[in-house]
Amino acid sequence: MTYLIRIFFAATLAVSGLSHAYLYVHGYQHIPMIGSAFVTQAGTSLALAVLILAGGPGWLRWAAAVMSGGALVAFALSRTVGLFGFSERGWQPSPHAVISVAAELLTVGLWLAWVMLNRQPLRRRNKNVTLRRRLANPGANEKSSVR
């Protein structure tokens, strides 16, 4: 299951990264600030995709969620009040806007699923650590539990 989530994470990040890279190469590089933001998003997404697929630590998934969430916020701003003086309408440029937003929503969704899946084992793991410590040093644990 975790392996599958890793693959999906990598796939959604790669799609979002490649979509931004395509737009950067095909014109967005000329838009002040937005061009830099696009190439940063693309490079970071692709790096996170590779490292998550390679079995990197959990904080990489958090970083992926933060970046995808940030990209979604930036998308929303560019369709409303503007972002660094840049604004676009609806789902333009088509189909890249739809593809990126879908990929980023999926990344955030996968992160949520991964967090939910890991909540139970984490609690169990903490319980196991406490139990091990109690067994190793019963007196000290009693004291700390009274406190």
Partner 1 sequence: MTDSPHSMSRRQVIRHGAWFGAAVGLAVAGGEVISHAAGTAQAKQIPSRPTLRFAQVSDSHIGFTGKANPDVVGSFSQAIGRINNLGHAPDFVIHTGDLTHLATPAQFDQVKQMMGALHTPHVFTVPGEHDSIDDAGQKYLSAFGRGTRGDGWYSFDIAGVHVIALVNTLNLKKLGHLGVEQLDFLAADVAPLPSDTPVIVFSHIPLFAMYPDWGWATDDATQALSYLRRFSSVTCLNGHVHQVFAKTEGNVTFYSGTTTAYPLPHPGDGPAPKPLTLPAGKLHDALGIREVSYVRGHQALALKENTLQ
63/102 with CB nearer partner 1 = 63
Give the residues lining the site for partner 1 (CB under 8 A).
17, 21, 24-27, 29-32, 34, 39-40, 42-44, 46-48, 50-51, 56-57, 59-60, 63, 82, 85-89, 92-93, 125-126, 129-130
11/31 with CB nearer partner 1 = 31
Helix axes 34-53, 2-25, angle to 10 degrees: 150
Minimum CB separation of residue 77 from partner 1 in Å reads 13
Minimum CB separation of residue 141 from partner 1 in Å reads 12
27/70 with CB nearer partner 1 = 27
Q: Which of 69, 78, 70 is nearest to 34 (CA)?
A: 78
Minimum CB separation of residue 14 from partner 1 in Å reads 11
- DSSP state for residue 31 in the 8-state scheme: S
CA dihedral of 88, 89, 95, 98, whole degrees rounded to 10: 100
Minimum CB separation of residue 94 from partner 1 in Å reads 9
73/91 with CB nearer partner 1 = 91
Q: Which of 7, 19, 20, 104 is nearest to 64 (CA)?
A: 104
63/72 with CB nearer partner 1 = 63
Minimum CB separation of residue 25 from partner 1 in Å reads 4
User: Cβ-count burial of 1 within 10 angstroms (0-12 exposed, 13-18 middle, 19+ buried)?
Assistant: exposed
Cβ contact 14:67 at 8 Å: no
